[in-house]
Amino acid sequence: MQGVELLYDFHIHTCLSPCGNEEMTPQMIVDCAVAKELDCIAITDHNICGNCAAAIEYAKDQGLIVLPGMELQTSEDIHVVCLFDDLENSLSFEKYVRSTMPPMKNNAEVFGNQTCILPDGSTYEEEQMLLVGSGIPLYGLYPLVQSYGGLAIPAHIDRESFSVGSVLGMLDTYMGFPLVEVWKDPTLADNVSVPYIQSSDAHNIDAFFDREYHSITAEEKSVKAVFDALKNMGT
Ligand SMILES: [Zn+2]
Ligand SMILES: [Zn+2]
């Protein structure tokens, strides 16, 4: 395909994830992505999209594409990166996800703060415990996310926790995912008959910088073209 090669990282946590370092503000992540000469990133906190708007807004003048997203935890405790090309769609999906989550409050002293930063710079602590399985099962997830205009990608399939393989033992084709994500070891993806992307799953700045990044071919450098390129990888 004719087009442009774009360096990406489609799995980054902010300070809104309880396990995300507090230095991971949307602004800091955008600054670091620009410093690393990335072209496109996604903000993917656990079960929530609250810090996407601030990152998108801050990145606007810096030539960086930011896809809104989240790392959904399914009812089986499997992590799936859900990406969108539209903030409103991601927030609609978040609303649904939230309606399926057990109403547990975060214990910040044990699990960490969940700091939401709005585009105007104001902040608040998210009370719902985010690091918890939603009520949404893996089977049927791909078309569900698609119905919100998004793309569901099983996360870090080479990890020994919260991955499809570690919970169910394998990724089979009838789960319906046309694209998967690898964290570090692409050889594991060789056993899977679908293409893969490789992202950092960074929870702190060091993990973000200490990384070799990969590129995706898109028609142009725009949110829509990047999202379409991801969709097309799996078809
Ligand atoms: Zn994960
Ligand atoms: Zn993650």
73 alpha carbon, closest ligand: 1
Residue 34 has pLDDT above 90, yes or no: yes
Domain boundaries, the chain: 4-233
Rounded to the nearest whole angstrom, what is the distance from the C-alpha of residue 107 to the centroid of ligand 2?
20
Region 4-233: CATH code: 3.20.20.140
Residue 65's CB: how many other CB atoms inside 10 A?
A: 23
Rounded to the nearest whole angstrom, what is the distance from the C-alpha of residue 194 to the centroid of ligand 2?
21
Rounded to the nearest whole angstrom, what is the distance from the C-alpha of residue 13 to the centroid of ligand 2?
6
C-alpha distances out from residue 69 to 1, 8, 18, 66, 107, Å: 26, 14, 16, 9, 24
Residue 194 has pLDDT above 90, yes or no: no
Per residue in 51-95, pLDDT (tens digit) is 999 999 999 999 999 999 999 999 999 999 999 999 999 999 999
Task: Please give the average per-residue pLDDT across 22-46, as a whole number.
Answer: 97
Rounded to the nearest whole angstrom, what is the distance from the C-alpha of residue 35 to the centroid of ligand 2?
22
Per residue in 112-140, pLDDT (tens digit) is 999 999 999 999 999 999 999 999 999 99
- The pocket of ion ligand 1, defined by CB under 5 A, consists of 79, 155, 162
Rounded to the nearest whole angstrom, what is the distance from the C-alpha of residue 49 to the centroid of ligand 1?
15
For residue 43, what is the enclosing H or E element? strand 40-46
pLDDT value of position 184: 87
Q: Closest Cα partner for 163 from 193, 138, 145?
A: 138
pLDDT band at 174 (very low <50, low <70, confident <90, very high): low
Rounded to the nearest whole angstrom, what is the distance from the C-alpha of residue 3 to the centroid of ligand 1?
31
Residue 204 has pLDDT above 80, yes or no: yes
Mean pLDDT, the chain, integer:
93
Residue 193 has pLDDT above 90, yes or no: no
Rounded to the nearest whole angstrom, what is the distance from the C-alpha of residue 47 to the centroid of ligand 2?
10
With tokens 């394998």, the residue in question is 170
The CA-based dihedral angle spanning residues 133, 136, 142, 144, taken in that order and rounded to the nearest 10 degrees: -140
For residue 68, what is the enclosing H or E element? strand 65-73
Residue 234 has pLDDT above 90, yes or no: no
> Where do the H-state alpha helices sit in the chain?
26-35, 52-59, 87-100, 108-111, 141-147, 164-168, 205-209, 223-233
Q: Closest Cα partner for 10 from 74, 81, 60, 80?
A: 81
pLDDT value of position 229: 97
Question: d(Cα 181, Cα 47) in Å, to the nearest integer?
Answer: 17
Task: Please give the average per-residue pLDDT across 227-233, as a whole number.
Answer: 95
Rounded to the nearest whole angstrom, what is the distance from the C-alpha of residue 32 to the centroid of ligand 1?
21
Q: Closest Cα partner for 187 from 203, 167, 165?
A: 165
Rounded to the nearest whole angstrom, what is the distance from the C-alpha of residue 2 to the centroid of ligand 1?
33
